[in-house]
């Protein structure tokens, strides 16, 4: 069982947390420090949604004969994967389902004060794990993350939040 912690949002709200564990092992980042996740985080549940999408796309690919050109079919599936990733990790507010910095312990962030900086490193790790579960290469994952930042910054600009673009890019 992971150590229970208390971390704080940018607005100084106490948030229950724990170290990320996979199969009982605490996972550490490149700095050697354990990744910190929300107290209600469950690795298997979290990763299951990405693995299910990959399996459903693989099954659809075996059955779908409507696209004779492999490139067209692959492009359509890539679009589905990136759309899914965007919806899961969209950094705009309110928080997205897989963005643990903005959606945690049954709560969805409503403003920047709700964002939990202690979850940032784990959020990056989880995005990479989600990409791997979906079968994306490191380059595809990084491209998707860059596109995510651009789309989120554009959304913030469109919503007229002054300075939001810089905050969104810097937060990721």
* Single pTM value for the model: 0.71
Taking 70 as the pLDDT cut, the residues of the chain under it are: 1-2, 55-78, 91-92, 140, 142-172
> With contact defined as beta carbons under 8 Å apart, do 50 and 133 qualify?
yes
Contacts of 53 (CB under 8 A, 6+ apart): 80, 81, 84, 134
CA dist., res. 148 & res. 165, Å (int): 12
The maximal CA–CA distance of the chain, rounded, in angstroms, is: 55
For residue 80, the model assigns a pLDDT of: 76
Per-residue b/e over 63-74, b at no fewer than 16 CB within 10 Å?
A: eeeeeeeeeebe
Looking at residue 168, what is its pLDDT? 41
User: How far apart, in whole angstroms, are the C-alpha atoms of residue 68 and residue 72?
Assistant: 8
pLDDT attached to residue 161:
53
pLDDT (0 to 100) of residue 164: 47
In the three-class reduction of DSSP (H, G, I as helix; E, B as strand; rest coil), residue 136 is classed as coil
What's the confidence (pLDDT) of residue 59? 55
Both tokens assigned to 79: 């679009």
First-last CA distance in the chain: 29
Q: What is residue 145's predicted lDDT score, i.e. its pLDDT? A: 52
């Amino acid at each position: 069982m992971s150590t229970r912690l208390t971390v704080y949002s940018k607005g100084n709200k106490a948030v229950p947390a724990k170290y990320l564990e996979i199969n009982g092992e605490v996972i550490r980042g490149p700095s050697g420090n354990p990744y910190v996740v929300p107290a209600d985080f469950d690795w298997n549940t979290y990763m299951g949604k990405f693995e299910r999408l990959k399996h459903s796309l693989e099954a659809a690919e075996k059955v779908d004969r409507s696209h004779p050109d492999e490139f067209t079919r692959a492009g359509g599936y890539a679009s589905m994967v990136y759309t899914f990733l965007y919806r899961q990790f969209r950094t705009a507010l309110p928080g997205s389902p897989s963005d643990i910095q903005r959606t945690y312990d049954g709560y969805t962030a409503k403003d920047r004060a709700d964002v939990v900086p202690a979850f940032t490193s784990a959020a990056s790790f989880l995005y990479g794990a989600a990409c791997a579960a979906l079968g994306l290469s490191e380059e595809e994952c990084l491209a998707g993350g860059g596109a995510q930042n651009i789309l989120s910054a554009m959304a913030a600009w469109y919503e007229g939040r002054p300075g939001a673009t810089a905050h969104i890019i810097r937060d990721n």
